[in-house]
């Protein structure tokens, strides 16, 4: 394709990406370098049903004036990135010097909000993605052998978890695992422990979230694998069949190599998706024990009475960086394969 044609071909997409992806990222980055202007406080007399008191309040006019002079706030450089609620370099340095053992150091670091969230995010990513790929593949293989008449219905049933809005899906499960819900009560009877609660301990909550993640993501892997299975050439399979290859051997030596690039694609998408894990944490009310990077951004923008734009911007940038690091090995590998194929 001549360069000029390519340019005009890609131009609308490129422009849209620049406007809707590029600019917001630049703007978030800019915001993350700033913090709010100094709040000017003043003493005032307040009266309410419980009596009159002298109290401090924000001097709105003076603060407003500062804001007009400095609409972005005060420049803080990378100050927000390294503060205690993000990378926490000072706290880590201190923990390194004062900890007597590696275990103690690890505990201190994982108690910092960013690292706590990172630990959950990565755990979720790496425990959900492999089973999703494996299960998706198995389900696709199984459904591919079904009779045409029932295939449509089964395919529909299989992709339901993906169709259900994540928040609704997790809420439904949340109620089911309640100690009075069908799953929660059954588990209590099964283990003969009336105090067993999936919501009470961190470990069980993590496991619940991971199982939910697998349940929700498997249909995506299934759909892609299923589509790819339709492109597997029939000739080599028939040849292998005639040569006496078992079903396992046919899958292992013909189907899997053929689907390999597709698996890489699914892994990429799944890793990216799972790195942004958010809705199940809200749906399962699991904020107390499981925080993710996306949840931290939400917390900065929603859970405070005032939005912490700088903090949210910094976490967003770190999330983008995290995804980039996560995907680099896969991308390098794809690129190398692409080069050798040429």
- Which residues are paired to 53 by β-bridges? 46
305 counts as binding other proteins under rule CB under 8 A: yes
User: Which of 28, 31, 36, 170 is the binder for other proteins (CB under 8 A)?
Assistant: 36
The residue among 2 and 49 lying less far from other proteins, judged by its C-beta, is 49
Question: By CB under 8 A, what part of segment 152-181 binds other proteins?
Answer: 178-180
User: Which of 87, 118, 210, 308 is the binder for other proteins (CB under 8 A)?
Assistant: 308
- Contact predicate 161/139, CB 8 Å: no
User: Which of 28, 31, 80, 316 is the binder for other proteins (CB under 8 A)?
Assistant: 80
User: Which of 18, 207, 272, 307 is the binder for other proteins (CB under 8 A)?
Assistant: 307
- Contact predicate 281/209, CB 8 Å: yes
Least distance (Å) from other proteins to the CB of residue 183?
A: 14
Least distance (Å) from other proteins to the CB of residue 39?
A: 5
Least distance (Å) from other proteins to the CB of residue 155?
A: 35
Torsion angle of the four alpha carbons 269, 271, 277, 283, in this order, in degrees rounded to the nearest 10: 70
248 counts as binding other proteins under rule CB under 8 A: no
Least distance (Å) from other proteins to the CB of residue 122?
A: 19
Per-residue tokens: 186: 């059954």
The residue among 106 and 247 lying less far from other proteins, judged by its C-beta, is 106
74 counts as binding other proteins under rule CB under 8 A: yes
Burial profile 3-30: b = 16 or more Cβ within 10 angstroms, e = fewer: eeeeeeeeeeeeeeeeeeeeeeeeebee
38 counts as binding other proteins under rule CB under 8 A: yes
Question: By CB under 8 A, what part of segment 189-228 binds other proteins?
Answer: 194-195, 197, 199-202
Number of shown-chain residues binding other proteins (CB under 8 A): 56
83 counts as binding other proteins under rule CB under 8 A: yes
Stretch that binds other proteins, among 38-46, 147-155, 219-227, 261-269 (CB under 8 A): 38-46
Least distance (Å) from other proteins to the CB of residue 296?
A: 10
Question: By CB under 8 A, what part of segment 51-70 binds other proteins?
Answer: 52, 55-58, 60-61, 64
Question: What does the binding site for other proteins look like in residue numbers (CB under 8 A)?
Answer: 35-39, 41, 44-50, 52, 55-58, 60-61, 64, 73-74, 76, 80, 83-85, 91, 111, 113, 178-180, 194-195, 197, 199-202, 285, 287-289, 291, 299, 302-308, 310-311
């Amino acid at each position: 394709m001549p360069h000029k044609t390519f340019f005009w071909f890609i131009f609308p997409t490129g422009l849209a990406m620049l406007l809707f992806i590029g600019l917001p990222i630049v703007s978030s980055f800019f915001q993350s370098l700033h913090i709010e202007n100094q709040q000017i406080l003043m003493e005032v007399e307040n009266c309410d049903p419980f009596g009159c008191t002298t109290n401090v309040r924000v001097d709105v006019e003076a603060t407003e004036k500062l804001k007009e002079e400095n609409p972005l706030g005060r420049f803080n450089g990378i100050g927000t990135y390294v503060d205690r609620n993000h990378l926490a370099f000072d706290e880590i340095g201190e923990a390194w010097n004062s900890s007597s053992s590696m275990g103690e150091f690890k505990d201190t670091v994982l108690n910092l909000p960013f690292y706590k969230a990172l630990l959950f995010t990565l755990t979720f990513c790496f425990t959900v993605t492999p089973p999703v790929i494996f299960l998706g593949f198995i389900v696709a293989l199984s459904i591919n052998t079904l009779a045409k008449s029932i295939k449509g219905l089964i395919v529909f049933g299989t992709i339901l978890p993906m169709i259900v809005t994540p928040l609704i899906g997790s809420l439904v499960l949340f109620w089911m695992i309640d100690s009075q819900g069908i799953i929660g009560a059954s588990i209590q009877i099964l283990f003969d422990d009336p105090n067993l609660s999936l919501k009470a301990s961190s470990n069980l909550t993590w496991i619940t979230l991971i199982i939910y993640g697998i349940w929700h993501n498997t249909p995506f892997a299934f759909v892609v694998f299923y589509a790819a299975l339709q492109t597997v050439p029939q000739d080599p399979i028939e040849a292998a069949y005639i040569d006496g290859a078992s079903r396992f051997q046919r899958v292992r030596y013909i189907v899997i190599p053929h689907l390999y690039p597709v698996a890489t694609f699914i892994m990429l998408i799944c890793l990216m998706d799972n790195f942004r894990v958010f809705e199940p944490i809200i749906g399962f009310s699991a904020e107390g024990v499981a925080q993710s990077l996306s949840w931290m951004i939400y917390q900065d923008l929603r859970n405070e009475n005032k939005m912490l734009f700088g903090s949210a911007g910094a976490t967003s940038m770190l999330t983008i960086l995290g995804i980039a690091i996560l995907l680099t090995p896969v991308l390098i590998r794809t690129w190398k394969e692409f080069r050798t194929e040429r």
